[in-house]
Structure 1
Amino acid sequence: MRKGYVSSGFGQLHYVESGAAAGQPGGEPVLLLHQTPRSWTEYVDVLPLVGAEHRAIAMDTLGFGASAKPEGPHSIERFADAAEDLVDALGLDRFHLVGHHTGGVIAVELAARLQDRVASLLLSATPFVDEEKRRTAGERKQVDHVDPRPDGTHLLELWNRRRGFYAEGEEAALNRFMIDALTVLDRVEEGHVAVRRYEMDRRLPDITARTLAVCAPGDHYSLPALERFAAALGCETRVLPGGHVPLPEQLPGEFAKVVLAWTASA
């Protein structure tokens, strides 16, 4: 895997890629967008599998990981602005797009903007943000916010907030979550807030790419709205055979297999 940076209107954006390098023979590029408050490491085991057939690229969303962290409120539109800067800087004239959770919402906005430049779209556990979700956004509990304490007990609180998403033996993935979340602890909740404010339903009609929506059976955040989301978008759906919120880390082989099959059929 190769790490790199590109310049953008917000500062430097960090990405990691696997597979054919720019200018070399290989399959069409695949851009993978992570959930928040994560980083490219959500795809650490997926990248080489997809990279076996494509130029697989996982970026750090603006404000997260090693990408620039500008001041001002986050929004899905601003996340997509940065992603668009990255695809232009990398010369991705046409590419496949994959997004998980918040990354899926960013992928919706990016696909609505770029249309025919997106060869295919795979949305994993992507929340369906309609008027009802926006109206009740203020009533929803915070997902990852903790108040720092001198004795460090907030670290255990943050660990336990996500512990139920991971099976026994998956502590390495949970450690990666902790690293990513602690990097942005002062703004850890803003990605979730940006999702709840996004006018997704007004952007779905602008998407032209062939789309697949997938979800894990244990993901109680996104699974209940999967069919309504698919109906609004007019796309196919698939429930994978296992996993929870951190699906790409829990089932990287199955996840990559779905990505490769979908990109091959586009």
Structure 2
Amino acid sequence: MTDTSALWKDYVPSRFGQLHYVETGDGEPVLLLHQTPRSWTEYVDVLPLVGARYRAIAMDTLGYGASAKPEEPHTIERFADGVGDLVDALGLDRFHLVGHHTGGVVAVEVAARLQDRVASLLLSATSFVDDEKRGGAHGSVDHVDPTPDGTHLRHLWDNRRGFYRPGEEEALGRYVIDALTVLDRVEEGHRAVRRYAMEPRLPQITARTLAVCAPDDRFSLPSLAKFAAALGCPTRVLSAGHAAAPEQIPREFADTVVEWVGRG
């Protein structure tokens, strides 16, 4: 179990209510954005490793974790509004940005908006949202119907069991906890991704960008080539892992972040 004693947890005000974040370390700020329906705990093992070199910050995306939960439908643009409010409240004039899955799509929007304030961008297992993605057939990933006998708790576990290897039950348990906090809206983040108009935003990105993906993440792996073509950015396939790569290979994930940030 990770020692979290060096992690600082706090809130900042935003136009939507309080936003929760966790940080550790000093130096250039590195902001990490999680997938949905997760929280900052997706980076619980990554934060101390990145924090050994930089000021590592992981926020709870607007609508998730301990951050404010507005009633309006989630959109990538609204998620990015929350990120903008957080970085302004923290006084981050320039920062490095990392996003995983939904967090990567949010990071695209943030980097397109803030441009030179984003010193570098790392997109992890990020969907390339084009007409094919928006128009494709999409089944439910995380939805469960609450049941009086609590069997929906097992269903939440089973929905993601295939993304985790034996021995990774602690990480899978963190997913279940996060999903339970937003059970009535657990699919909204995925729907927000599928509605997002990404293509016109990509030319607005000025930050040097790296796109990475775990080898077993079949949902996101094909996007590497699309980001390379659209942004002219390098890509990298990690050594192992699935959709939960930051929890499955935290050392390699953190080393990848540190190496990319350090290239500047």
CA RMSD of aligned residues (A): 0.7
Percent identity for Structure 1 against Structure 2:
76
Q: Point out where structure 2 has 5 or more consecutive residues left out of the alignment.
A: 1-6
What letter is aligned with 1:144?
D
Distance 1:98 1:225 in 2: 16
Distance 2:11 2:219 in 1: 32
Residue number in structure 1 paired with 2:58:
58
Structure 2 counterpart SS, 1:103 = helix
Structure 1 counterpart SS, 2:253 = helix
Residue number in structure 2 paired with 1:83:
83
What letter is aligned with 1:17?
E
Structure 1 counterpart SS, 2:148 = coil
What letter is aligned with 1:201?
E
| CA deviation map 1:125-168 (0-9, x unaligned) | 000100121122xx210100011111111111111110011110
Distance 1:200 1:230 in 2: 14
Report the count of equivalent residues.
258
| TM-score between the two structures when normalised by the length of structure 1 | 0.96
Structure 2 counterpart SS, 1:154 = helix
Q: How far 1:229 sits from its partner (Å)? A: 2.4
Moved segments of 4+, more than 2 Å = none
| CA deviation map 1:91-140 (0-9, x unaligned) | 0000000000000000000000000000000000000100121122xx21
What letter is aligned with 1:143?
V
Q: Does 1:17 align with 2:23?
A: yes
Distance 1:155 1:114 in 2: 40
Structure 1 counterpart SS, 2:199 = helix
What letter is aligned with 1:44?
V
Matches within 5 A, 1:197-212: 197-212=195-210
Distance 2:85 2:57 in 1: 14
Distance 2:243 2:135 in 1: 24
Matches within 5 A, 1:4-153: 4-20=10-26, 27-136=27-136, 139-153=137-151
Residue number in structure 2 paired with 1:170:
168
Q: Point out where structure 1 has 5 or more consecutive residues left out of the alignment.
A: 21-26
| TM-score between the two structures when normalised by the length of structure 2 | 0.97
